[in-house]
Amino acid sequence: MSEIVDVYLVAAGKYHDIDFARLEVLKLLAEHEQIRVTVASDYENVEEIEKCSFMVSYTCDVRPSEGAQVSIRKWVERGGRWMALHGTNSALDMGGENGVDSPRCFPIWAETLGSQFVAHPPIAPYPVEITDPSNWLVADLESFETDDELYLCEYHDIENLQILLHTDWNGDARGFVESDWNNDDKRRLVMYLRPLGEGCVLYNTLGHCRGHYDMRPVTDYYPKVERCSWGISQYYELLKRGIRWGLGEGQ
């Protein structure tokens, strides 16, 4: 009989179909009968997080208090495993004259995650390459193409990030304050491990999704339903392996 594993899922935020992402992640977690899930809309209940061994997050522009940032970092350092998805590292200020701004408002959070979202070019297909085929989280997978937001990030402690997936890109991130990405290192991390103390963060930038009503108050009706990497089998395989990792498999 398997020992119960308590998992903390944070699914909340702006400009995304959070209901869709939450349900998809819950279905994958439910494949493991020993998992019991607490679902939350922010990171502030650190006492409950500290009772869990594994956290999963799918958020956008959810900005934890400094106290929550410090406590969650310590939880990771004590051995917690955290699978952070898509916009977990984002802070967005909309509506400025020069486009969407990404304020550096949570340095502890960004340093814990190993990155902060800054911008993305318009959604378009791009190739995802296997950086470290020796790691079981991506072993035996073929490089694949996805039609998703290509995350352009500011990295922290990059020499200690274990890069699993990447793509190479330079160009313009139209619509963002920091739009010029033509002259920097074109290597973009798509998925990586960020070891911290006895624990680790697994960050996967893929997985944008948006429905018709998810851009309010910017617009009342968004014309296109976007599912991006949620429409390909490789993404679900990465999520399934990530959950197994969170349960203690592998490094």
**Which residues, at least 6 apart from 90, have a Cβ–Cβ distance to it below 8 Å?**
59, 60, 61, 102, 116, 117
Q: How far apart are CA 74 and CA 192, in angstroms?
A: 20
- At residue 1, the pLDDT reads 57
> Exposed, middle or buried by CB within 10 Å (0-12, 13-18, 19+), for 42?
middle
- For the stretch 23-76, pLDDT in tens is 999 999 999 999 999 999 999 999 999 999 999 999 999 999 999 999 999 999
Topology classification of domain 5-246: Rossmann fold (3.40.50)
Question: What percent of the chain has pLDDT above 90?
Answer: 97
Question: How confident is the prediction for the chain on average, in pLDDT?
Answer: 97
DSSP-assigned beta bridge partners for residue 195? 200
Assign 251 a pLDDT band (cuts: 50, 70, 90).
low
Q: How far apart are CA 232 and CA 142, in angstroms?
A: 13
Pick from 154, 149, 206, 155: which is nearest to 178 by CA? 154
State the DSSP code for 65.
-
What angle do the packed helices 233-246 and 18-29 form, to 10 degrees?
Answer: 60
> Exposed, middle or buried by CB within 10 Å (0-12, 13-18, 19+), for 123?
middle
Q: Note the pTM of the prediction, 2 decimals.
A: 0.98
Assign 96 a pLDDT band (cuts: 50, 70, 90).
confident
- At residue 250, the pLDDT reads 82
SS3 call for 158: helix
pLDDT beyond 80 at 2: no
- For the stretch 8-32, pLDDT in tens is 999 999 999 999 999 999 999 999 9
Helices marked H in the chain — which ranges?
A: 18-29, 46-50, 66-77, 107-113, 233-246
| E strand residue ranges, the chain | 5-13, 35-40, 54-60, 81-85, 93-96, 99-101, 115-119, 124-130, 144-148, 152-155, 162-168, 171-172, 180-181, 187-196, 199-204
Pick from 228, 140, 234, 238: which is nearest to 192 by CA? 238
- At residue 95, the pLDDT reads 82
- At residue 204, the pLDDT reads 99
- How large is the average pLDDT for residues 107-133? 98
Do the Cβ atoms of 210 and 15 come closer than 8 Å?
A: yes
Q: How far apart are CA 166 and CA 185, in angstroms?
A: 12
- For the stretch 167-225, pLDDT in tens is 999 999 999 999 999 999 999 999 999 999 999 999 999 999 999 999 999 999 999 99
